Amino acid sequence: MKNIKLKMARVEKDLTQEELADRVGVTRQTIGMIEAGNYNPTLNLCIAICKALDRTLDDLFWAEDQPETDN
Amino acid sequence: MKNIKLKMARVEKDLTQEELADRVGVTRQTIGMIEAGNYNPTLNLCIAICKALDRTLDDLFWAEDQPETDN
DNA sequence: ACAATATGTCAACTATATCTTGCAATAAGA
DNA sequence: TCTTATTGCAAGATATAGTTGACATATTGT
């Protein structure tokens, strides 16, 4: 499940994946995979992304139709 | 920083750490460390915990005074 | 005092998030 | 066409999330 909300929040801030990655302290690949959806980031990284994009966890990482309850 | 909101949501549901851990698919140690605050869980685990406790990410894992922007 | 339940903690292990490097593909501009 | 910027993807390495098992410490009930 691609994280389209994250991508939209990023482009709305006019940031590239690499710029966001720099601000958040990870590599652009990590951001890319989170947006692509085949990834399970840590909470601290999610929070850092939210703060970089002026959003909250629910804004970017919460979906009403959550996929599975796997850890 | 201890996650007191998580602990309160759990006891409000009358669940022990072990019961919550079972429902979420992790060990009780993992739940314990998240509540103790010296841990950085994955997003999927946070979501599973939220669903088990009928809360959202912002409810349990978002704080206005976020500690550090480390990943 | 005793037993059972719930939690904290520690060490060693396994699984996986994240990094590093590199290459390919696409789109936009000169 | 050529270049540059942006993104996708993949293999191997490292850091850390999560497991397992065990023991200690409350706490509560009998």
- Interface confidence, given as ipTM, is 0.88
**Is the pLDDT reported for residue A71 higher than 50?**
no
Contacts of B44 (CB under 8 A, 6+ apart): A40, A70, A71
Q: Which of chain C's bases lie under 7 Å from a protein CB? A: 5-11, 16-22
For residue A68 the two structure tokens come to 């599975």
Can you give the residue ranges of every domain in chain A? 4-61
Q: What is the Rg, in whole angstroms, of the alpha carbon atoms belonging to chain A?
A: 11
Interface residues for strand C (CB within 7 Å) are A 25-27, 29-30, 34, 39-42, 45; B 11, 16-18, 28-29, 32-33, 35-36, 42, 71
Q: Which CATH architecture best describes the domain A4-61?
A: Orthogonal Bundle (1.10)
Judge contact between A45 and A35, C-beta under 8 A. Answer: no
Percent with pLDDT over 70 in chain B: 89
What class is the B4-60 domain?
mainly alpha
Dump pLDDT digits (tens) for A42-52: 999 999 999 99
Contacts of B61 (CB under 8 A, 6+ apart): A43, A47, A57, B3, B6, B46, B50
- pLDDT score recorded for residue B70: 39
Dump pLDDT digits (tens) for A2-60: 899 999 999 999 999 999 999 999 999 999 999 999 899 999 999 999 999 999 999 99
Contact between A46 and B41 using a beta-carbon 8 Å cutoff: no
